[in-house]
Structure 1
C-alpha cells in the first residue's frame, strides 16, 4: 500500500462464524491440511481470544500467534484493532499463506460481533470465508441467513470470498446460489474452491490500515524530524508516541531543563529525544551565516539574520536545510504563514515546480483520496493549478494511491463557459503537456468524478470520470470547504495539510490539531524525507 517496491503478497483468508457453532475447530484442521498441501509455509493467527492463549483451542492445537483479548475490543475497539494490526504485521513474515481464525467453537458472541469480524478482516487485508451450519435450518432459511450475513459483512466493506457450509443438507447449495448468485459455496474443505477463496485479494484501504502502514514505512528508514513547538503539550505527547513506536528520531527546540521538566509533569518518556536550544552556538553561528548567504540579494544583515534565528520556525527550517534534521512539523501554535514562509526563503521549491501547495490525504472507510490545494494558495493561476495537479499526483504515488486526477469545476467537459471554467481548461491543457503520462480530466464536476453512473452520462470515454482518486480544486475557498465538508459529513480522517513542491519536507499543522493528527503528520514527514 505504501512504498515503491511491492513484496510478494502472503495469501490470506479470514475464517469466521457469525453464531455459536460446533465443528469449527475440525474445519480449521481440514482447512490447514488443504492450505499446507498447496502452500509451502502456512501460519495461523487469532485476532481475538477469550482470555489466555493456553486455553484457546486453535492456538493450543495448531500454534500461531494472537492479537488481543475480546474484552479489549469491547472496551476500546480502536486501540484493540491497532494492537491486532501491529501484532499481525510483525507475525506475517515469510509465510506463503495465513489462515486468520475469527469466531470459532466456544468463542463469546457479543452484539455487533459479525461486523466487528468484518472490520478486523479488512484491517488485516483479508477476504472472509463465512462458516454457516446447514443442519439447523431448511435450505431456504439457510439461504436467507447467508444473504443477511453477507450483506452485513459487505456493509463494512468486508468482501466475502466463500461460504463454508457445515453439515450440508440436500438443496442447500442450490438455495444459496438462488439468493447469492455466483457466491463460492464450499462443502468439502479439500475442494480447490478453498484455495481460490484464499487467493482472492481485497483492495480496501481503511484508515487504520493506512496509518499503520505509514508508521511501518517510516520505521523502515528512520528519519530525524524537528518539532519547534516544545512548549505545546500536544507536541510533547505526540513526540513520546513516535519515540515509543520507534517511527522517527525526534528533535525538540527548547531549553533542555524546561522540556524534560514538562515531560515529567505529563508522565512522558522523552529520554530518546534530542533537545536543541536556538541559542546553542554549535548551531546558531552556522545558521546565521547561511541565512545571510541565502538572503544577501535581499540585503539581509547579520543582525537581521540573528533575529530570524531566534525564531523557532526559522531555526527549525534551517536545521532541515543544512541536514541537521530531515524534516520539520510545526503549526500547532503558529500560523500557516509563520510555519511555511521560512521554507520559501530557505528550502525553496523543487526544480520545475512553480508553487508550493498542499494536499489532504482523506482516509475514507475503504480507500484513500487526495484533495488539493486546501490550505495554501487562494487563487492559483492556470499554470500554478497545473503544477498543483502534478505535485498532487506525485504525492499520491508516494503514499500508495494510484493517481487519477480530476480538476474540479462547476462544469463538466464542454457543458459550461466563463472565466473560471476557462482557467481549469487551460490548467488541464498545461498539465497534460507537462505530464502526458498522467490520467487527467478537467474541467469535471465532483459528482462526475466519483459516481460511475453520472460519469457514464457526462464523460463516457474518460479514464478518470467516476473513479478519480486525486481531486484538484480551482481555489482555496472551494478546496478548504470541500475537505471539511467531507471530513465532517462522511466521517473521513483528514491527514494534513501535507506540503508539496519543497526541496525538503516541512509540514504545517492546524492549530486545533489533536495529538493523533500530529503523530500522523510526523510519520508522513518522515516518509517524505525518505524520497
Structure 2
C-alpha cells in the first residue's frame, strides 16, 4: 500500500489547491486516517495561516493540529540553505513527516506555491523533499496562456527533472487548459510517454475569479451591506468616475464597481442596474476614501428588498484601491462551498479516479469514516443518476443544496414552486441552477392529469374533484404524484414543512412495498470509525412485535443498500433471558418473528445497548453470539427510546446523523428535519437516489 503522495506544481498559479482537494477526497474514500503536510509554506511568517493547510483542515476534519501540518516558511528554508544548513532542514522535515506517518495511515503532501521570487530554488527543493521522503509525485502543470507545444515541452522538462532525482511520478495533471484543446492535448501527452497517467483539466473561470469575500479580505474592507452576498464572483473592476449616463455603458456582468463613497449618483444607479432586467448583474461595490453614503442614500439602500448586492468600504483612495486589487487572484476559501464543490466536481469529471486509485492504493483499511461514507454516497448516486423532485423550491437551503448536487452531478433535479419567485431566489443567492427543471404545479401540463389520478385513487375516501384540485396545488402532493406516476424517481422535502406534510401523500397513494405493512425509518449514524444503522427513530411511536420484526428486516435491507453488513440487535433493557416484563417479551417475540421471516439475517435479541456494541460486555453477558458486541443495526423498542438515543449518540459521540431514511414505501420519499443543513439535504438527496436505483428508471420531466 502506498502510504504517501506528494502533489507539487511546476510553476506558480497551477491551481493545485483544487487538485489537492480532489486527491484528498479520493484518498479518504479508502483510508481512515489521513494527514496533510506541507514541508514548506509560502506565508511570509508564522503569524498568518497558510491558505491550503487551512482549506484542507477546514474541509476534511482530519483530526490534526495546524502546527503539525508544516515545517518551515519559504523564507526560513531559504535562510537555512544559504547558511549551509541544508541537511538540517531536510532532517527536520523528515522528522515532522515521520511523526505524522506514525500516527496516520496515509500522508498527503503538497509542495510550495512558487511565489517566493526564486522558482528554480522551489522546483529543486520540492523534488529533493519528495525523493528523500520516498513519495510518489503527482505533478500539476499550468497550461494557462500556453500553446500545445509549450505545454508538452514544459511538462516533459519537469518530469525529466523529477525522474533524474529517482522520484516515481504517479501521474501528471495539466490544469487550466484551453477547453477547445483538452482531448487533443491529452492524446498528444499520452503518445509522448506511454504508460504514464496523464489528465487534462480545462480552465474553470469560476475558480480563478475572486469572490467579493476575497476582495473584502484582501482590502481589509468593512462590509456595509449584503453580508449574505459575499460569495458572488468578480469578473472585472470598473472605476466609476464618469456621470451616470456614461458610467452605465461600462457596467458588465459580475463587474465590481469602485467609486468614492460620496458619489450618491453612482451608488444609486448601480443598485438600480442590479434590479433592472435591462442591465447585467454587477457583483458589488467598493466605496473608497472611507466615505459612507449620506443618511438619505443609506435609508434608500436599507429599504431595498433583500439589498441585492454587497457594498464594501475602504479607507484608501480610489486609485490605490484599484492598484491593490490588480494583485488579487481567485482562491478557494474554506467557507466558499460553491468553489469547493466546483473544484471537486471538475476533478471527478476530468480525472479517471478509479484508474488513479488503482495506482495509488493497492490495499486499504476496512474501517470507514463519515467523510468516506458521505463520499461513497455521492459516488453511488452518480453511478446510475436518478431524477429527484424537491417540492420546496423557495427554500434557500434547498436551492443551495441543489446548486451543489448539480455541480457534483449527483442527480437530475426538479424544483417546484412559483417560477418567478424561485428564479428571484436563485438570482439573489447567486446560484447556477440552469441544469434544474423548474415546475409551477398549477401551470404544469400534467396538473389536470394529476388531479384526476388523485381523485380516482382517493374518491372512496370521500375526496371530491375540488378537494383533489386544491391538494394537487400543494407542491408536496404534486411532487409525490410525480414519483407515483414515474415522472420522478424519488422526492425529498421537509426543510420548511412538517414530517406529516411530507409523508402523508406517500402514505395515501404511493403505499408500501408488497409484503410490507409498516413504513418506518432509520438514521445512518456515522461515527469516527464506522457507520451504524438506528431504527426506528422517527415514524412508528409504539410498534407491535410484528411491526418491530418488520422494522428489523427492513433496516437490515437498508443497511445492505448502503454497504453496511447487517448484524441486527433487537434492543431492550435486558440481555437474553435475564429480564422479565411486557416490553422484554415484546422484543423476544419480535426477534422470533424476524428470524422466522428472514432466516438468512444475523439477528439477536433482546440485547442491552452496551452488550450489542461492546465486545467485552458481550463476552460477559452473551458469550458466543455472532451479533452481540459487533452489531451494526440497532432496533429500538419504541420511538421514544430510538429518537432520544440517536440524538444522545449524535451529540455525545460527535456522530454525523444522516436521515431519517424512510423504508417500506413502494418508491423513495424522504423527510428532512426543519433544522437541516445544506450538507444534510445533499446527503438525503443522494440517499434517495440510491434507493431509487433498485427499480428501473422511467422518469420524465412533467
TM, length-normalised to structure 1: 0.69
CA 55–239 in structure 1, closer or farther in 2 if over 3 Å, else same: closer
Q: Which residue of the partner structure matches residue 23 of structure 2?
A: 84
Q: Which residue of the partner structure matches residue 388 of structure 2?
A: 225
1:356 paired with 2:519, answer yes
Distance in 1 between residues matched to 2:382 and 2:585, nearest whole Å = 45
CA 438–147 in structure 1, closer or farther in 2 if over 3 Å, else same: farther
Distance in 2 between residues matched to 1:408 and 1:108, nearest whole Å = 55
Higher-Rg structure is 2
CA 426–214 in structure 1, closer or farther in 2 if over 3 Å, else same: same
Deviation of the 1:201 alpha carbon: 3.1
Give the gaps of 5 or more residues in structure 1: 1-11, 16-44, 57-65, 73-79, 93-99, 124-134, 137-143, 157-165, 168-188, 190-196
Q: Which residue of the partner structure matches residue 2 of structure 2?
A: 13
Q: Which residue of the partner structure matches residue 325 of structure 1?
A: 488
Provide, for residues 354-406 of structure 1, a one-character-per-residue CA deviation record: whole Å limited to 9, x for no partner.
Answer: 10000011111111110110111110001000010001000000000000010
CA 101–311 in structure 1, closer or farther in 2 if over 3 Å, else same: closer
Give the gaps of 5 or more residues in structure 2: 64-86, 89-94, 108-131, 134-166, 168-359, 695-702
Q: Which residue of the partner structure matches residue 406 of structure 2?
A: 243
Structure 1 residue matching 2:441: 3-state secondary structure? coil
Deviation of the 1:152 alpha carbon: 3.4
Q: 2:103 aligns with which of 133, 152, 158?
A: 152
2:611·2:628 contact (CA, 8 Å) conserved in 1? yes
Structure 2 residue matching 1:13: 3-state secondary structure? coil
| Alignment: residue pair count | 404
Deviation of the 1:273 alpha carbon: 0.9
Provide, for residues 265-288 of structure 1, a one-character-per-residue CA deviation record: whole Å limited to 9, x for no partner.
Answer: 111111111111111251111111
Distance in 2 between residues matched to 1:527 and 1:392, nearest whole Å = 15
Q: 1:273 aligns with which of 433, 436, 439?
A: 436
Deviation of the 1:85 alpha carbon: 3.9
Q: Which gives a bigger RCO, structure 1 or 2 (Cα 8 Å, sep 6+)?
A: 1
Q: 2:544 aligns with which of 363, 381, 384?
A: 381
CA 67–408 in structure 1, closer or farther in 2 if over 3 Å, else same: farther
Distance in 2 between residues matched to 1:121 and 1:306, nearest whole Å = 49
Distance in 2 between residues matched to 1:501 and 1:510, nearest whole Å = 20
1:67·1:88 contact (CA, 8 Å) conserved in 2? no
1:253 paired with 2:416, answer yes
Structure 1 residue matching 2:514: 3-state secondary structure? coil
Q: Which residue of the partner structure matches residue 532 of structure 2?
A: 369
Q: 1:287 aligns with which of 450, 453, 461?
A: 450
Deviation of the 1:153 alpha carbon: 3.2
Q: 1:518 aligns with which of 660, 676, 681?
A: 681
2:571·2:605 contact (CA, 8 Å) conserved in 1? yes
Q: 2:611 aligns with which of 441, 448, 451?
A: 448
Q: Which residue of the partner structure matches residue 212 of structure 2?
A: none
Q: Which residue of the partner structure matches residue 32 of structure 1?
A: none
TM, length-normalised to structure 2: 0.53
CA 81–420 in structure 1, closer or farther in 2 if over 3 Å, else same: farther
CA 462–320 in structure 1, closer or farther in 2 if over 3 Å, else same: same
2:522·2:661 contact (CA, 8 Å) conserved in 1? yes
Q: Which residue of the partner structure matches residue 459 of structure 2?
A: 296
